[in-house]
Amino acid sequence: MKMYYDKDVDVKALANKTVAVIGYGSQGMGQSQNMSDSGLKVIVGLREGGASWQKAKDDGMNVKTIEDAAKEADVIHILLPDEIQADVYEKSIAPYVKPGNTISFSHGYNIHFKYIKVPEDVNITMIAPKGPGSMVRRTYLEGFGIPGLVAIEQDATGDALDVALAMGKACGLSKAGILETTFREETETDLFGEQAILCGGVTELINAGFTTLVEAGYQPEIAYFETCHELKLIVDLIYEKGFAGMWNDVSNTAEFGGLSRRDRIINDDAKKEMKKILSEIQKGKFTKEWALESTAKMPMLNRMRELESEEKIEKVGSKLRKACGLEKKAKEKEEKVVVVNFDKTKKK
């Protein structure tokens, strides 16, 4: 394991260089604001008239079209949705890429699965926060950061790693640590994690538990607290202290019940299916399915979104989060991030 911390990284690798962050969504907003606050010369590259154009301007960012940003930049950091990156790269970035430039990503998808081809005299790097964009910004403002991954696919200039690490430090990632990986490892593990555990697995687990309790006649609000709300508190314990720390904090009854029954839920069938999901990712089957879906303008994704919004747990959850003041608290946290940027705009 090779881990880099603040002391190992010199942002000088980006002195006199311009970083164009293409996209101002979840990651684009957090990363461009952090890099700008850390003293890097940052341009945000966007399509004119898109929803984020005005937002980035209001946040005090230097906004240009994607073509102009690519022309001016030494480092082009592509933070667009994965499914549209290849199209935008081909039309609006590739014509302006110069020898010695760096094309950078926060997910290896388009390079690993060969949707984007970059000239040999250009670096291909990755600096990937291991968490959502809002947390990249929030933890930076709190004076810390979330951990990140760094990978180099092509080192044309001999200092591609220094460039990628400097971006990571400016984003706040080397405070928690930046772990070295490859494009293949990051891409396949990230896709597996979000499908089987973090986003797919956990929502299905929560909803299955919630539905079991509600169908057995318990109050939906009690079922929501038990299967969803409390999950965060338990995961926080695991996050901070590992399984042992969590078991130590819960009752002996919970520890005995949990340890003796958990493999009836995540059983051999579930493990077999996890292996199948991983294999679909490795063989490019998932990627093909996703490419077809996005070319067809997301019919399945839109249908699944609609169905989930009609789930009882979503309705009960929304009501309870309001009643407990949790939605208000989350909104205040988001506004705090924006307020900092408004202040910055006024200063300029």
Q: Is 192 exposed, middle or buried (0-12, 13-18, 19+ CB in 10 A)?
A: buried
CB of 132: closest distance to ligand NDP in angstroms? 4
Contact flags string 182-221 toward ligand LWWEY6Y5, x per CB under 6 A: --------x---x---xx----------------------
Q: Which does 25 bind (CB under 5 to 8 A by kind): ligand LWWEY6Y5, ligand NDP, Mg ion, none?
A: ligand NDP
Contact flags string 81-100 toward ligand NDP, x per CB under 6 A: xx-x---x------------
Task: Report which secondary-structure segment, H or E, holds 18.
Answer: strand 18-22
The residue of the chain with the least Cβ separation from ligand LWWEY6Y5 equals 194
168 among annotated binding-site residues: no
CB of 135: closest distance to ligand LWWEY6Y5 in angstroms? 8
Number of residues that bind ligand LWWEY6Y5 (CB under 6 A): 6
CB of 131: closest distance to Mg ion in angstroms? 7
289 among annotated binding-site residues: no
Which of the residues 73 through 132 are near ligand LWWEY6Y5 (CB under 6 A)?
A: 131-132
What is the spatial distance between Cα 99 and Cα 86, in angstroms, rounded to a whole number? 20
Is 50 one of the binding residues for ligand NDP (CB under 6 A)? yes
Task: Report which secondary-structure segment, H or E, holds 91.
Answer: none
- Annotated catalytic residues are 107
The residue among 339, 196, 341 whose CA lies nearest residue 280 is 196
Structure-token match 């969590």, residue found: 246
Cβ 151 vs Cβ 108: under 8 Å = yes
185 among annotated binding-site residues: no
* Choices 95-103, 146-154, 182-190, 330-338; region in contact with Mg ion by CB under 5 A: 182-190
The residue among 177, 180, 143 whose CA lies nearest residue 160 is 180
Residue 38 corresponds to which amino acid?
Answer: S
Which residue's CB is nearer to ligand NDP, number 31 or number 227? 31
Q: State the DSSP code for 17.
A: -
Backbone angles phi, psi at 147, to 5 degrees: -65, 160
Q: State the DSSP code for 117.
A: -
Backbone angles phi, psi at 74, to 5 degrees: -95, -35
The residue from 37, 59, 186, 190 that contacts Mg ion (CB under 5 A) is: 190
* Choices 17-25, 33-41, 171-179, 231-239; region in contact with ligand NDP by CB under 6 A: 17-25
Which of the residues 222 through 261 are near ligand LWWEY6Y5 (CB under 6 A)?
A: none
The residue among 127, 140, 122 whose CA lies nearest residue 167 is 127
What is the spatial distance between Cα 132 and Cα 134, in angstroms, rounded to a whole number? 6
Is 25 one of the binding residues for ligand NDP (CB under 6 A)? yes
| Partners of 43 in beta bridges | 20
Is 46 one of the binding residues for ligand NDP (CB under 6 A)? yes
Which of the residues 136 through 175 are near ligand NDP (CB under 6 A)?
A: none
CA dihedral 236, 141, 336, 105 (to 10 degrees): -80
Helix (H, G, I), strand (E, B) or coil at 124: strand
CB of 176: closest distance to Mg ion in angstroms? 15
Which residue's CB is nearer to ligand LWWEY6Y5, number 123 or number 139? 139
Which residues carry a binding-site annotation for substrate? 251
| Residues flagged as binding site | 24-27, 47, 52, 133, 190, 194, 226, 230, 251
